[in-house]
Structure 1
Amino acid sequence: MGRAEERRARQRGGRRRAASRGGRSSDGRTRTGIRRFLTWRKILGTFLGFCLLCIGAFILLYLLIDIPKGNAVAQEQSNVYEFSDGSVLTRQGETNREIVDLAQVPKDVQRTFVAAENKTFYEDSGVDLRGTARGLFNTLSGRGMQGGSTITQQYVKNYYLTQEQTVTRKLKELVISLKVDRETSKDDILAGYINTSYYGRNAYGIQAAAQAYYRVDAGDLTVEQGAYLAALLQAPSQYDWAVASDTSKKLVQDRWNYVLDNMVEEDWLDAADRRGMEFPVPEEVQGNPGLQGQTGYLVDAANDELARQLVAQGAAENEDDAVAMVKRGGWNITLTIDKKKQGQLEQAAEDQLISKLDAEERPVDANIQPGAVSVDPKTGKVVAMYGGADYVEHYRNNATRRDYQAASTFKPVILAAAVEEGSETQDGDPITADTVYGGDSGREVVADGEKVGFNPPNEDDVDYGDVSVQTAMNKSINSVFAQMGVDVGMEKVMEVAGLLGMDTEGMESVPAQTLGSMGASPLEMAGIYATLDNHGKKVTPTILASADHKDTVVDLPDPIGEQVISRETADTVTSVLTGVVDDGTARTSVRDNPERDGQQVAGKTGTSDYGRSAWFTGYTPDLVTSVGLFGEDAKSGEQVNMAGATGTLPGKGRVNGGGLPAQIWAQYTFGATGKATEFDLDTDQGAAVQPSWTPTATQEPTTQAPTQEPTTEEPTEEPTTPDPTTEEPTEEPTTEEPTTEPPSQTPTSGTPTGPTTEPPVNPDNPGQQ
Structure 2
Amino acid sequence: MNSYGDSQSPRARASVPGSGASPPDDSRPAPDAYRRGAGGRASVGSASVGSASAGRAPVGSASVGGTTGSARVGGTTGSARVGGRASVGNAPVGGITGSARVGARASVRPGLDGPESPGSPGRPSLERSKAAKKRRRANILTAAAAVVVILLGAGVVGGTYFFDSVELPAAKTEDQSNVIQYGNGAPLAKIGDQNRTVVPESRINKYVKDAVIAAEDQNFRDHHGIDMKGIVRAAWNNFTGGATQGASTITQQYARHVADLKDISINRKLREAVIARKLESQYSKDDILGLYLNYVDMGSGRYGIEAAAQGYFGKSTLTPINEKNAVTPYEAAVLAGIIKQPYPDKISKGFDPTQNPTGAKDRWEYTMKAMLGLGAITQEQYDKRVFPKPKPRSASTCKTCAADTAVGMVIRHVRAELAAMGIDANEFERGGLTVTTTIDPDVQKAAERAGSRSSKTSPMNGKPKSYQAAVIGIDPTSGRVLGYYAGDDPTGYDYGGYLSDDGTKILGGQSPGSTMKIYTLAAGLKEGLSFDSIWNGELKRPNGKEINNAGADPGRICSGKIKFCDLETSTIKSYNFPFYWIADTIGRDKVISAAKSAGVKHMFNDDGKMIDLTKTNASTWGKSFDNEVAFGQYRVVPLEHAEGVSTIVNQGVHHKAHFIKQVKRVNPETGKTEVFGQDKAEGKRVFDADQMSNLTGVMKKIVQTNNRNLDNGREAIAKSGTWEFDDEKDDDVGSGDCWFVGGTPNLSATVWVGGKGNKVELKDNGRDMFGSGTPARIWEKFLNEATDAMNLKKVDFPQRIPTGDPAKFGNGERPPAPQNDCALQLIGIECNGPGNGGPGNNGGPGNNGGGQGNDDQQDNGNVGTFPFNTTTPGT
TM superposition score normalised by structure 2: 0.44
* Larger Rg computed on CA atoms: 2
TM superposition score normalised by structure 1: 0.49
Q: Greater share of helix residues, 1 or 2?
A: 1
